[in-house]
């Protein structure tokens, strides 16, 4: 492989494995570069990003995405479309006359993606399997586009622990249901564990973006589960083999260990971004206090207004960062 050219894949030996980067040979973990730890990519005639309906031959990924500096992901396609429109106003982005924001991945119904200047707003579905598929492809997309110094954000909703509903939690550490800050994957029948690491400086900057708002923004641990019902200790699923006392003891123990909210993607998000050398952060609003109940009964219009809160915090950070780009 040639060492010249921006889009050329470069191979570097790292602990016996080939690591491909979108820059020249560098030390593992060096700031700015997207890490693709897969030697097979360089031998492929075309890399098809199937769930985005994009590819390295069918699309000019560098032209389309080479300027991206921020990737914001959230579960709902509708919410991420709304975030894109919110960014248009917040960033003062001029949409050309007669045009409108377009879902870049409208050829597929798996995910939605919108681009506002250097910002991507992308839906990821619900749970680790869905966000994992999306992250594999968007990390490769950023790599093929030659992007550097990209920050990733997950913005979404969650269940709170001991917090007033509507509180925004900036995640200090993402842990699983056993309190481990790592993701376990079955690869070829063997368990592969990778640390889930969020960027502490990025989290602090986001916390500082709270400015006389009518809602509270705090920092705390986020617990990521593989299930919405039993995995989160709910009593209202189709199955439940524990009693209310056992549920409350578990949730209280989580709270005592610093967990302030519960969702279903953060550990995977932190693990994959860290493995790719990407700075990342998680910002979620709480829709209820799980120490008080299991079901969300707040009116939908109120929930919609609450879901805007993480968007506001992240948009402020992006505006601040764009001043230095």
Q: Which residues are part of a known binding site for phosphate?
A: 110, 154-157
DSSP E strands, the chain: 10-14, 17-21, 35-36, 48-49, 54-55, 70-74, 113-116, 119-123, 151-160, 168-175, 182-187, 190-195, 217-224, 259-263, 279-289
Q: Residue ranges for the binding site?
A: 110, 154-157, 232, 234
Q: Helix 300-322 to helix 200-207 angle, to the nearest 10 degrees?
A: 110
The 3-state DSSP composition of the chain as helix, strand, coil percent (nearest 5) reads: 30, 25, 45
Q: Note whether 26 and 110 are within 8 A (CB).
A: no
Q: Token pair of 298, please?
A: 């707040």
**What is the distance between the alpha carbons of residues 184 and 291, in angstroms, rounded to a whole number?**
28
Separation CA 251–CA 262 (nearest Å): 10
Q: What is the CA radius of gyration of the chain?
A: 20
As given in the structure block, the two tokens for residue 30 are 């060096």
Binding-site annotation, residues for substrate: 232, 234
CB distance 110 to 51 below 8 Å: yes
Geometric angle at alpha carbon 323, from 317 and 325, rounded to 5°: 100
- What is the C-alpha to C-alpha distance for residues 20 and 40, in angstroms, rounded to an integer? 10
Tokens of residue 98, six digits: 């007669």
């Amino acid at each position: 492989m040639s060492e010249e050219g921006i889009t050329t894949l470069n191979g570097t030996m790292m602990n016996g494995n080939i690591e491909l980067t979108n820059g020249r040979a560098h030390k593992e973990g060096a700031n700015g570069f997207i890490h693709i730890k897969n030697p097979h990519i360089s031998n492929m005639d075309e890399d098809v990003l199937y769930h985005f309906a994009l590819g390295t031959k069918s699309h000019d990924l560098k032209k389309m995405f080479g300027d991206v500096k921020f990737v914001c992901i959230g579960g709902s396609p509708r919410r991420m479309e709304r975030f894109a429109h919110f960014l248009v106003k917040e960033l003062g982005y001029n949409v050309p006359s007669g045009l409108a924001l377009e879902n870049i991945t409208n050829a597929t119904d798996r995910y939605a993606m919108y681009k506002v200047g250097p910002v991507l707003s992308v839906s990821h579905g619900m749970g680790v399997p869905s966000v994992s598929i999306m992250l594999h492809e968007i990390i490769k997309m950023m790599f093929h586009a030659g992007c550097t110094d990209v920050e990733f954000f997950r913005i979404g909703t969650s269940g709170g622990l001991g917090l007033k509903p509507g509180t925004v939690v900036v995640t200090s550490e993402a842990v699983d249901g056993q309190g481990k800050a790592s993701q376990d994957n079955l690869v070829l029948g063997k368990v592969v564990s990778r640390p889930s690491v969020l960027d502490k400086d990025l989290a602090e900057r986001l916390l500082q973006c709270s400015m006389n708002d009518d809602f509270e923004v705090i920092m705390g641990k986020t617990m990521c589960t593989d299930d919405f019902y039993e995995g989160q200790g709910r009593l209202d699923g189709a199955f439940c083999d524990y009693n209310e006392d056992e549920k409350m003891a578990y949730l209280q123990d989580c709270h005592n260990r610093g967990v302030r909210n519960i969702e279903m993607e953060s550990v995977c998000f932190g693990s994959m971004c860290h493995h790719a050398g990407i700075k990342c952060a998680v910002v979620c609003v709480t829709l209820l206090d799980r120490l008080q109940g299991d079901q969300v009964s707040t009116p939908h219009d109120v929930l919609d207004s609450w879901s805007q809160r993480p968007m506001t915090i992240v948009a402020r950070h992006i505006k601040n960062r764009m001043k230095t780009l």
